[in-house]
Structure 1
Amino acid sequence: MNKRKIGEEKEFLALKYLTDRGYKIIKRNYRCKLGEIDLIAKKDNRIIFIEVKYRSTSKYGSAIEAVNYKKQMIIRRVARHFLLTNYHTLEIPVSFDVIGIDNNKITHIENGF
């Protein structure tokens, strides 16, 4: 199975995990010239930007560890673009979550950065 298909499957697993917990997914794979955000959701009057990472092995660390400072800064810039493009303001409560999937074990870090 190719990496893209595996990524799509794991992202869907994360999506199901979130919707089962009351998150309303408003956008998948939001892309702009600055980068991409895997999932954008709403919950408790907040917009939540969610990065999903998958690792089949711990050889290079856990999935959560892959969301490093550089990746976080890209996600923040893309989130800003999303808010300004869709809501025309930055005055909206937001948070940044990380979902790591190691094999099939899901770790969800709310307000991860």
Structure 2
Amino acid sequence: MGTDTTRQPPDRATLGRYGETLAARYLRDRGLEVLERNWRCEHGEIDIVARDGACLVVCEVKTRRGTAYGDPVEAVTVAKALRLRRLAAAYVAARGVRPEQVRVDVVGVLCVRGRVPEVRHVVGVGS
């Protein structure tokens, strides 16, 4: 991903927002339309809601400074993928949209000090 900086954000919350910004840019660059970021309801939060053609895409973004605990995308468990499916249903109901398909994706952002951030997009987790 061609990012103009290798500086890391100072704290965890800022790192998460930075990763979400990179993920949204990455998805847009690949033709997805980002509809919303950080959509919340009583059941939780969706980091990014996007559209890929007729498909509604719910994206979980995981940002890490290193791989000591594995690749960032590995942080999304089966339970988390199922929760994202429930959140997708809540989003569809709340917004009154009728997508042909709904998909759950994970975008991992690896921000290693002194290196350009790496973005990894896993399409259709927990399907």
Report the Cα offset of residue 24 of structure 1: 0.6
Rg larger in structure: 2
Confirm whether residue 64 of structure 1 aligns to residue 73 of structure 2: yes
- The one-letter code of the counterpart of 2:110 is D
Confirm whether residue 95 of structure 1 aligns to residue 103 of structure 2: yes
Report the Cα offset of residue 94 of structure 1: 1.0
Calculate the aligned-residue CA RMSD, in Å. 1.4
For normalisation by structure 1, the TM-score amounts to 0.92
Report the Cα offset of residue 88 of structure 1: 6.1
Confirm whether residue 105 of structure 1 aligns to residue 118 of structure 2: yes
Confirm whether residue 55 of structure 1 aligns to residue 64 of structure 2: yes
| Count of equivalent residues | 112
| Identical positions, percent | 32
Tell which has more relative contact order, 1 or 2 (C-alpha 8 A, sep 6+): 2
CA distance in 1, matches of 2:85, 2:105: 11
Report the Cα offset of residue 44 of structure 1: 1.3
Q: How does 1:1-113 map to 2 (within 5 A)?
A: 1-87=10-96, 92-103=100-111, 104-113=117-126
Question: In structure 2, do the counterparts of structure 1 residues 109 and 55 end up closer, same or farther at CA, with 3 Å as the change threshold?
Answer: same
CA distance in 2, matches of 1:44, 1:108: 17
For normalisation by structure 2, the TM-score amounts to 0.82
CA distance in 2, matches of 1:57, 1:5: 16
Q: Identify unmatched segments of 5+ residues in structure 1.
A: none
- The one-letter code of the counterpart of 1:49 is V
